Structure 1
Amino acid sequence: MSKELKKREEIDEKYKWNLNDIYADDSSFESELETVLEEVKNIKQFKENFTENAAKLLEALNEIMEIEKKTAKLYTYAHMKYDQNTQNDKYQNYKNKAMMCYNKLSNSTSFMVPAIIQLGEERLEKFKSDNEELEFYNHFFDNILRQKEHYLSAAEEKILALAGEVTQSSENIFSMLNNADLEFPLIKDENNEELRLTHGRYIDLLKNEDRRVREDAFEGMHGEYEKLENTFAAVLDSSVKGDVFYARARKYDSALESALDNDNISTDVYNNLIDTVSDNLEPLHQYMELKKELLNLDELHIYDVYKPLIEDIELKFKYEETKEIIKNAVKPLGQNYIETVEKGFNSGWIDVYENKGKRSGAYSSGCYGVHPYILMNYTQDIGNLFTLIHEMGHAMHSYYSNKNQPYLYADYKIFVAEVASTLNENLLIDYMLENAQSREEKLYLLNYYLEGFRGTVYRQTMFAEFEKMIHESVEAGESLTSQAMKSMYRKLNKKYLGNTLIIDEKLDYEWARIPHFYYNFYVYKYATGYSAAAALAEKIKNEGPAAAAKYLEFLKAGGSDYPLNILKNAGVDMEKSQPIVNAAAKFKNYLKQLQELV
C-alpha cells in the first residue's frame, strides 16, 4: 500500500463511479435544484383544497411524489459528489443545498399527513370509489392511518419539519470531525517504514502478523478519539436528545418505539434480539478462548481478535479478481442476477479505491430512475471482497425494486435491506468453502466466517444494546458524558466478549467512532437481517431455483408492504426467536468444524 493516500484526480477513471448518469454535469444539477425549489414553493397551492374531492387529492399526491423523486435525485448526486472528497467546499455546499431543499419540501408538505388523517377512513374509501386511481396509494394511506395517533396538527407538523435542519446537525458535525478534520498518526509497519493510519487501512493493520503494528494501530486510532472525547460525547448526546425530542413530540413511550414504528415493527422484535443473543453468548466466549490458545498468547486483546488464526496462508484478492468470484458465488440466484451484477461492475456503478478526503467505509446509494451506486475503499484483504458482495446485495435490491415498483414503493426499509446484503455474504462463504484448495485455506475461511458472524450478529447486537442504554439514559433525564458512555461501553464489552479478553482502556472510546450511532436504532437490523439471510440462503441451497425465484420476488417487492410481511412471504418470521437461535447454532457448528481441523 502507498505511504500517503492519492488525491482524487490521481485515481484511474475506470475505478470511479459515473455520477454523470444522474446529471450530465454540475450545471445540470444547479439548474434542477433551482427548478425544484420553485416547485416546492408552489406546493402551497394544494394545501387549501387538498382533500376537497378525489380529483384534487390525486392531482396533489401525484405532483408531490414527482417533486419528491426529483429532490431525492438532487440529494443523491450532491452527497455522493461530497463523499468523493469531503474537503471539497463546492460539493459540501451542494450537499447542504440539497438537504435544505429536502427540509423545505418536508416543511411544504407538512400539511399532507394531518389532512389525510382528518379526512378519515370512511371519506377516504368514498374518494377511492369516486376515482379508482387513488387505489394506487392504498399502502401509503394505510401506513399513515395506522400511525394517526402519533401525527400532530398541521401547524405542529410544520414546526417539527422546521426543526429538521437543527436536529440533523449532529450527524453532519460527526461526519466532518470523523472524515475531514481527524488526521490519524503515522505508525511504523512490520518493515519499520512509516505509513499514515486511516479508516480504510485500520482493519488491515489489525490483521498484521506483527503484534506491535496491531497495537500501534489500535492505540493510534482510539487515541485521536480520546483527545476529542468530550466533543464526540456532546455531539452524540445532542443526536440522542433529538431522537427523544421527536419521540415525545409524537407521543411515543420511547425513542425506540418511535424509531421502530416507522417500519411497523414492535419493540418486542428489538428486545427479543438482545435477549436471544445474550442467551447464546457461550459460543462467542469459547471462540475467544480458542483465539487465545491458537495464537499462543498470554493475554488476548481486542487488537489480537482480528488476526487470522492461520498464519501460513494469506488470502488477498485484486479488485479485478473479485468480479469473477462474486459472479460465481451468486450463481444460485440465476442468470439474470449474474448478468446484472456484471453490468454493475462494468458500467460505472462502483467507486473503488480510497483517496484523500474520501468518505470512509462503504455503502450502496442511488436514486429512482438511475442505476444504483457503490462506494468502496477497496484494499486486497478478504474483508473487502465480502464488503463488496455485501454492498452489491444492496445495489441489486435497489435495482430489482426500482425496476418493478413505482417510485412511491421502490424505497425498501432498512430492516429488509440487510437481508439482501448478508444473503450474498452467505453465498460467498459457501462458495469459497466448497472451493477451498487446502486444509489451511478452509481453516482460514472458517475463521473468517466466525469473525464475520462475531462482527455482524454479536457486535451489532452489542451496539444495539448500547443504543438502547444511551437513549434510556437521556429519557431518564441524564446527560451522556464521555465518562458515562465509557462506563456503559466497558460493561457491554465484558458481557459480550467474556473473561478471556483484556478490555484495554482505549477500547472504552470506541463508541466515539461508530457512525451508525447517529442513525437512530439502525444497527440491530444487521443482526436481524443476517439471521433472516442465513435462513433464506439455506432455503436456496436446499430447494434450488424455486427458492431463488421466491427470493427474487422478495427483492422486487421494494417497500410495497411492511418489512415483516415481506419477509414472511419469503419464508422467514422475525417476530420469533428461531431464526436468531438457528444463526447462533450455525456459528457453533462452524466453530466445532474449526476446532476439529486444528
Structure 2
Amino acid sequence: MSALPKRSEIATEHHWKLEDLFESQAAWDQEYQEVKQLTSKMKDYQGKLKDAATILACFELEDEISLHMERLYVFANMKHHEDMADAKYQALSDKAKKLSVEIGEQLSFVTPEILSLSEAELKALIADQSLHNYKHTLEEMLREKPHVLSKSEEALLAQVGNISQAPGTIFGMLNNADLKFPKVKNDKGEEIELTHGRYIQFLESRNREVRENAFKAVYETYGKNKNTLAATLNANVSKNIFYSRVRKYPSALDMSLSGDNIPKEVYTNLIDTIHKHLPLLHRYMELRKKLLSLDELHMYDLFVPLVDELDMEMSYEEAKQMVKDGVKPLGEEYLNVLQAGYDEGWIDVYENEGKRSGAYSWGAYGTHPYVLLNHKDNLNSMFTLAHEMGHAMHSYLSDEEQSYRNAQYTIFLAEVASTLNEALVMDYLLKKTTDPKEKMYLLTYYADQFRTTVFRQTMFAEFEKLMHEQAEQGESLTPQLLSELYYELNLTYHGKEMKVDQEIEMEWARIPHFYTSFYVYKYATGFSAATSFAKQILEEGEPAVERYLGFLKSGGSDYSINILKEAGVDMSSPKPIEEAMSVFEEILNEMETTIAELQG
C-alpha cells in the first residue's frame, strides 16, 4: 500500500479555504482578544435582567460573543483536522476549547435569571415587539420554566454533572480499552485478533465459518462481562430516572423528548408503524436467504454483501456531477449554490497524512459552510459527498435567511437534508442504469440502509423505552432481564425466516448509543422524513420543492416538529413512516424482478 501524501502534496484546489474565516493567524489572535474583552462586559448585566431593553442588550451581546467564539472554535479545530499531528494546531484547538468553557461559565447566569421572573412577566416579554428576534428563545424559556429548579438546587445539580457522566465513561473505558477479544481466523486462515474495527469486516466475509466464529467470539466476550455491563447500563438508566423525577417530568422518555419539544406520539408512532410493516423486513430476510443460497439465515449473515462489489469507479469530478444530476429536481436556486460550494473552497477532498478520518459538514455563521471528506473513487464516497453537501446546503440556506440565533437547527432536523440528497441521487441512478447487476447492487445498498437506519434503530429505540419502563416500575435491570428483552425484540423484528442465534441476546452490551439515551430514534425519523420529502418532490414537482426549500431556510426559527409540518411532513402522524415503508416495498419489488432477470 502506498504511503499517504503529505498535505502539501495535494493540489490546493482540493483544499478548503479556511482563509474565508480568518485571513491569518494574526487575525485569529486579534479576534480571540476581542472576545475576551467582550465577555468581560457580560457581568454588567448580572442581577439586572428585569426589563425588555436590558434583556435585549444582554441577548445581543450574548449573540455577538457566541458568534465570534464559534468562528474561533471552528477555525482552530478544522486547522487541527487538516493534520492531527501538527502540534501548533493541537494547541490552538485546546486554546479555543478552554475559551469556550470559560465563556459558557460567564454566560450561565442569563437563563436562570430571566426564569426567576413570573410567568406573567415572561409572557409580556414574549409579546414585546422590541424582542421580536428573541421570541422563540423566550417561548422556550417559558416552556421549560416548570422543570427549572431554584438557583441553589440548580447549582447542586450542576455539581453532580460529572458524576452523571460516569456510566458512559466507564462503559467507554471497558468497551474500548479493557475488553479483549480472542484471535479468530480470517479469510486467509490467519489467526488475527478481533477488534471493534475488524468485527464488521469479518461479518462481511464470503466465508461463512469466518463470520460465525467472529460473531460467537464477540458475544462470548461480552457474555463473560455481562454483570459489570448490566450494572453500568442500569446506572445510566437510574441517572435518567433521577433527573426526570427531580425536574418533574412524567418519565425519562418525556424528559429526553422535551429538549426539542417533540410530542411523545412521534416516538410511539415510529415503533407502532414499524411493527405494522415488519412483514416487509421479513420479506427482505427471505430475499437475503435466497440470494446467499442458504438453508438457514443466521444473525451473522446480515452484513455479507448480496452481490459482488461492482467496479463502480468514479473520479471526484464524476462524483460531483452525479450528485448534481441527482439533485436536479430541487431546482436552479439549489443547483447554483451547490455549484458555488464545489467551486469556492467549501470542500477538503482527499486524505492526507495525519488528516482526521471520516466526513462532516461544519462551519460558522456569516461564512459559507465547510465539508471534510476523505474521498475515494467509489460509489460510497459519492454518496458521502451527496450526504455532507445536504448538510452544508441546509446550513447555508438557513444562515442566509435567519438571524444568528434562529439559524441553528436541531439534531432532529439535521439528518433530513443529508438523507434527502442521498435518496434523490439513488432514485436518479436506479432510473439511469440498464445493467441488471448494477441495478441489483444499488437496490441492495438502498435496502440495507432501510434495514440499518430505520428497522434496526427503531428496535434500539424500542429496547430503550422498554428498559426504562421496567426500571421506572421498580424492576432491577439484571443481565437476564436485559438479554430476554433484547432477544424477544430480535425475534419479533427479524421474523421466522431468520434463525435468531441465542448469542445476539448480548448485543445490548456493545451499543454505545444506549449511553446517549433516546437518541437513536432520530436516525429513523430523519430517514423517514427525508424519504417522504423525496417522494413528494419526485411526484409533485415544484410545489413540493418550494415547501422543501422553505424547510431548509427555516433553520431553528420554530420547533422542529412545526418546521417539518409547515413543509408537508407531519412527524406526529404515522404518514411519513408509511411513505418510507412504501418506498422500501418498491425496492423489494424491484429486487425480486431484477433477480428474475439475472436468473433468466
Q: Distance in 1 between matches of 2:289 and 2:461?
A: 27
Q: What letter is aligned with 2:428?
A: Y
Corresponding residue number in structure 1 for 2:59? 61
Contact 1:107 1:162 in 2 (8 A): no
Secondary structure, in 3 states, of the residue corresponding to 1:364? strand
Q: C-alpha offsets along residues 320-350 of structure 1, whole Å, 9 cap, x if unaligned?
A: 4321211111111122322333343455544
Corresponding residue number in structure 2 for 1:331? 328
Corresponding residue number in structure 2 for 1:520? 517
* Deviation for aligned residue 1:566: 1.0
Q: How many residues align?
A: 594
Please list, as runs of the form range in 1=range in 2, the aligned pairs for 1:226-245 lying within 5 A after superposition: 239-245=236-242
Secondary structure, in 3 states, of the residue corresponding to 2:250? coil
Corresponding residue number in structure 2 for 1:147? 144
* Deviation for aligned residue 1:397: 0.9
Q: 1:63 to 1:254 in 2, by over 3 A?
A: same
Q: 1:341 to 1:368 in 2, by over 3 A?
A: same
Mean CA deviation greater in 76-85 or 319-328: 76-85
* Deviation for aligned residue 1:554: 0.8
Please list, as runs of the form range in 1=range in 2, the aligned pairs for 1:291-306 lying within 5 A after superposition: 291-306=288-303
Identity %: 46
Q: C-alpha offsets along residues 137-160 of structure 1, whole Å, 9 cap, x if unaligned?
A: 111111211222112223333444
Mean CA deviation greater in 406-415 or 544-553: 544-553
Corresponding residue number in structure 2 for 1:50? 49
* Deviation for aligned residue 1:411: 0.8
Q: What letter is aligned with 1:48?
A: G
Contact 1:207 1:214 in 2 (8 A): yes
Q: Distance in 1 between matches of 2:9 and 2:480?
A: 42
Q: Distance in 2 between matches of 1:100 and 1:477?
A: 41
Q: What letter is aligned with 1:591?
A: L
TM-score, normalised relative to structure 2: 0.83
Q: Distance in 2 between matches of 1:223 and 1:19?
A: 48
Secondary structure, in 3 states, of the residue corresponding to 1:437? coil
Contact 2:126 2:139 in 1 (8 A): no
Q: What letter is aligned with 2:550?
A: E
Q: Which runs of 5+ in 1 are unaligned?
A: none
TM-score, normalised relative to structure 1: 0.84
Q: Distance in 2 between matches of 1:215 and 1:348?
A: 46
Contact 1:248 1:254 in 2 (8 A): yes
Mean CA deviation greater in 84-93 or 134-143: 84-93
Contact 2:15 2:349 in 1 (8 A): yes
- RMSD over equivalenced CA pairs, Å: 4.1
Corresponding residue number in structure 2 for 1:494? 491
Contact 1:110 1:157 in 2 (8 A): no
* Deviation for aligned residue 1:182: 8.8
Mean CA deviation greater in 427-436 or 492-501: 492-501
Q: Distance in 2 between matches of 1:8 and 1:229?
A: 45
Question: Is 2:68 aligned against 1:70?
Answer: yes
Q: What letter is aligned with 1:452?
A: Q
Contact 1:366 1:372 in 2 (8 A): yes
* Deviation for aligned residue 1:433: 0.7
Please list, as runs of the form range in 1=range in 2, the aligned pairs for 1:407-556 lying within 5 A after superposition: 407-476=404-473, 485-504=482-501, 507-508=504-505, 510-511=507-508, 514-556=511-553
Contact 1:200 1:360 in 2 (8 A): no
Mean CA deviation greater in 219-228 or 326-335: 219-228
Q: 1:507 to 1:126 in 2, by over 3 A?
A: closer
Q: Distance in 1 between matches of 2:77 and 2:9?
A: 20
Q: Distance in 2 between matches of 1:357 and 1:221?
A: 30
Q: Distance in 1 between matches of 2:188 and 2:553?
A: 50
Corresponding residue number in structure 2 for 1:115? 113
Q: What letter is aligned with 2:54?
A: K
Q: What letter is aligned with 1:66?
A: E
Corresponding residue number in structure 1 for 2:598? none
Please list, as runs of the form range in 1=range in 2, the aligned pairs for 1:18-417 lying within 5 A after superposition: 21-23=20-22, 36=35, 39-40=38-39, 42-51=41-50, 53-77=51-75, 101-120=99-118, 122-124=120-122, 132-164=129-161, 167-168=164-165, 206-211=203-208, 214=211, 239-311=236-308, 313-351=310-348, 362-376=359-373, 378-379=375-376, 382-417=379-414
Contact 2:126 2:135 in 1 (8 A): no
Mean CA deviation greater in 351-360 or 257-266: 351-360
Mean CA deviation greater in 488-497 or 400-409: 488-497
Mean CA deviation greater in 530-539 or 349-358: 349-358
Q: 1:483 to 1:21 in 2, by over 3 A?
A: farther
Q: Distance in 2 between matches of 1:283 and 1:237?
A: 33
Q: Which runs of 5+ in 2 are unaligned?
A: 596-600
Secondary structure, in 3 states, of the residue corresponding to 2:117? helix
Q: Distance in 2 between matches of 1:239 and 1:90?
A: 38
Q: C-alpha offsets along residues 510-569 of structure 1, whole Å, 9 cap, x if unaligned?
A: 445545434332221222222222222122112223321221111000011111111111
* Deviation for aligned residue 1:120: 3.9
Q: Distance in 1 between matches of 2:88 and 2:503?
A: 36
Contact 1:199 1:361 in 2 (8 A): no
